[in-house]
Amino acid sequence: MVGDHDNNCGDRGVTEEEMTTDNMMIDERYRLVTERIGEIEQEDEVGKPLASFFHVCARLLMTLSGILDRACSGGIRDVPTGDLAKENKSLYEDITEDNYRTSFADPDHAVHEFEKAGIPEAGKIAQYMSFLYTELRGLIPYAYEGRREIFTLFAELFVEVYTMFRLSAADGGVPDAESVRSAIYWFERDNCDIIVPDSIADKIDPSNDFLRRIVCEEDLSSERFLYLSGEYVTENEIKTAAFINTLTEEEIARMADTFTEGFRVGFIKANKPIERKTSVNIRYSLGFERVIRKAVENFEKMNLASVIYRAGTLSLMGSGVNRIGFYGAVPNRQYDYDHKDDAAIYLDADFVTRKLEVLTQGYESRKELANGHAGPAVMEVFGEDPFTPEVKDSAVHHTDRTRKLSVDYSAKASSIVNKYIKGEERSFTIISFPVPVIGRDFEKIFSETVKVNTLDASKYETIQQKIIDALDKADHVEIRGCNGNDTDLRINLWPVNDASKETKFENCVADVNIPVGEVFTSPRLAGTNGLLNVSRVFLKGLLYKDLRITFTDGMITDYSCANYDNEEDNRRFIKENLLSDHDTIPIGEFAIGTNTTAYRMGRMFDIEGRLPILIGEKTGPHFAVGDTCYSHEEDVKVYNPDGKEIIARQNEVSAKRTENEKEAYFQCHTDITIPYDEIGYIRGVSENESFDIIKNGRFVLPGTEELNIPLDDM
């Protein structure tokens, strides 16, 4: 049951006697630090507004300490559901809606308060204090899981920083900003060897089962289970769970089977050894537990133990805009955006080296678990309004130096993970469902989404093969926009040497990537040129207006959007979020989506801007920027259902992997889709002929006309 979990020692290769001694030391440190924090709540030596800041932090930590003690004792069983709901609201209300504007988590508010008080270096001090408060807020899940060691570490950092200010106040001042930053730096660096391995274990070790036990053991017919993980709960999650509870066992099984079979079939189609694997990671959002319980059962029949871990909540573990793992409601997307670059506070070359060493050691000590890990099974949700963040000067932003360090770390970390969880042996699946926040048509949209997710894959496979057979004869593809879309692109294709055995495009139906359907390729960069334009597109939770990207020999050479009045803000927004802080990235994929049924659903319910990219990419031609779809698996031979080998698995950039892996990959892949009604034509061109696949928003290639039926029915 929930509350019996204790992860103080983890799996760091220590003896039972050492574990007991470590626990005793942690218990004593925990007792001492919480006693001190309880006193800080009553002290005001540092003066306003610093006293207010430290009081807010101290109250949060004491609340979390009580939750942690309850988790360790199993006392949550005795707490009424109503009290758990109130507790949940109180933990998150500081950063929700208008409350955020007067929270120290908002860097704007922190700067304003510190400047008003005349604090020296107020801007820097405010950034560091806002960061500290954000890190303490990241302890909420650790408290619910009873993870005393990591909680104690951050509580001690809080006391250390408070003591610096209290001692300086005795001399009539405040510590200089660099001293505060240094305390944060050494804390993050020194505790890498605890926090990073702890996170690795969460990702690949099925014995870390706190979340899985909620899914498999709690009463899912009651609202109570929603509050047991400590994730934020809103009406959206309550209504989601309530709706899921109205579905029959057959409907639940259908959803779960589509999900898990996609994962299994993905291994079979790629000729990968699923029988060697022992675990699978399930990623989902709060409220879908009934479906996930059935998925866990299905995976057990495949001899795969399910690992469910949370999206990162601490800076060191990649907290930010994009949540990867299990999560509840997002309290405030602006809060996430304001703190996405907080790691710039402590990043330097030595720190990166240290973290990479710890990452390697962490996987090395768990290499059997890592080798047995089969990959992620992802259940996404959609329905929220598109979001355009406010760009704040008060927030921490990467410098050129820290941005480069961050990019370098990501590249090297990816290589390390790929060494232990081998790309050529792992797979994935991903599916998506709407949630009630999408609006009054939620139940109808949900029903339509289930239909879209379970369309007849064999029919699409046959139609898509006709597109592939035609494009295999083309040297390049030309795409022109219409109806206000200025797209004008030439996509260069790799040559086929033996048409009887080779093909350029993958015939993608519905296994790893649900729903059907698309055909896609890795373009040849040389000769791929032109402008990609989309009027409105929702990518990774962010809205882009009038997005324009220019490619020269397959690399991005210019970009703009119309999100902000200031062009500099627009370019920074694109570079940070779409280019993942790289100066340039290549076009990694060109695809033609064929799921006109999904397109009709989007138009029918006016939800195109809310569709996830997983569905959206199937509703028109799309272009991925970043790595190819075969990233780290280019040497694994892949075949279409007709037996032909897909030869376009790399481009000129990923081909560098054998010489310099750092230059071959970018750790990003973002699909940008143009809707059918903005397509003037998609035309295959060879030396001897040209032919249209789509013209004026309709499929015109012989044998593909059936795809127009949903479009004609609109």
DSSP line for 503-539: ESSEEE-SSSB-S--EEEE--EEEEEEEEEEEEEEEE
- Overall residue count recorded for the chain in this entry: 714
- pLDDT of 234 above 80: yes
Of 190, 224, 244, the domain-final residue: 190
The amino acid occupying position 332 is N
Q: pLDDT value at position 512?
A: 75
Output the CA angle 563-569-573, nearest 5 degrees. Answer: 70
Query: Which of 190, 221, 256 is a domain's end point?
Result: 190
Say whether both 253 and 153 belong to one domain: no
Give the residue with greater pLDDT, 23 vs 133: 133
Q: Is residue 449 a part of any domain in this protein? A: no
Are residues 321 and 577 in contact, defined by beta-carbon separation less than 8 angstroms?
yes
The answer on 591 and 474 residing in a single domain is yes
Residues 396, 539, single domain; the answer is no
Q: How many domains does the chain have?
A: 3
- Among 9-23, 148-162, 387-401, 535-549, the least confident range: 9-23
Residue 436 in any domain: the answer is: no
**End-to-end Cα, the chain, rounded Å:** 50
Is 5 within a domain?
no
Residue 540 placed within a domain: yes
The reply to whether 471 and 620 lie within a common domain is yes
Residue 344: CB partners within 8 Å, gap ≥ 6?
Answer: 396, 397, 398, 399, 402, 403, 406
Confidence of residue 8 (pLDDT cuts 50, 70, 90): very low
For residues 185 and 252, membership in a common domain is answered with: no
The reply to whether 129 and 263 lie within a common domain is no
Assign 6 a pLDDT band (cuts: 50, 70, 90): very low
47 belongs to a structural domain: yes
From CA 12, how far away is CA 29, in angstroms rounded? 20
Cis peptide before 515 (omega within 30 of 0): yes
Q: What is the mean pLDDT of the chain?
A: 92
- Residue 198 in domain: no
Tokens of 112: 């304003």
Rounded to whole angstroms, how far apart are CA atoms 597 and 645?
29
Segment 673-698 mean pLDDT: 94
Residue after which a domain boundary falls, among 164, 190, 216: 190
172 and 108 fall within a common domain: yes
Locate 152 and state its tokens. Answer: 């104690």
703 plus 564 within the same structural domain: yes
Report which secondary-structure segment, H or E, holds 682. Answer: strand 679-685
Identify whether the C-beta of residue 621 lies closer than 8 Å to the C-beta of residue 521. Answer: no
Predicted confidence (pLDDT) at residue 312 exceeds the cutoff of 90: yes
**What is the extent of the structural domain holding 138?**
16-190
CA 66 to chain CA mean position, Å: 30
pLDDT computed for residue 71 by the predictor: 96
Q: What is the DSSP letter of 384?
A: P
CA–CA distances in Å: residue 49 to residues 39, 110, 126, 165, 523: 18, 9, 11, 12, 56
Task: Examine the domain organization and report whether 348 and 253 are in the same domain.
Answer: yes
Contact 435, 285 (CB under 8 A): yes
Residues 6+ apart with CB under 8 A from 17: none
In a domain, 9, yes or no: no
Tell me the two tokens of residue 704: 């593909």
Q: Are residues 550 and 657 in the same domain?
A: yes
- The reply to whether 174 and 226 lie within a common domain is no
Strand partners, 684: 477, 691
Mean pLDDT of the region 282-309: 98
Q: 478-506: per-residue pLDDT in tens?
A: 999 999 999 999 999 999 999 999 999 99
In this structure, the answer to whether residues 253 and 149 fall within a common structural domain is: no
3-state secondary structure 111-159: HHHHHHCCCCCHHHHHHHHHHHHHHHHCCHHHHHCCCHHHHHHHHHHHH
For residue 554, tell me if it sits in a domain.
Answer: yes
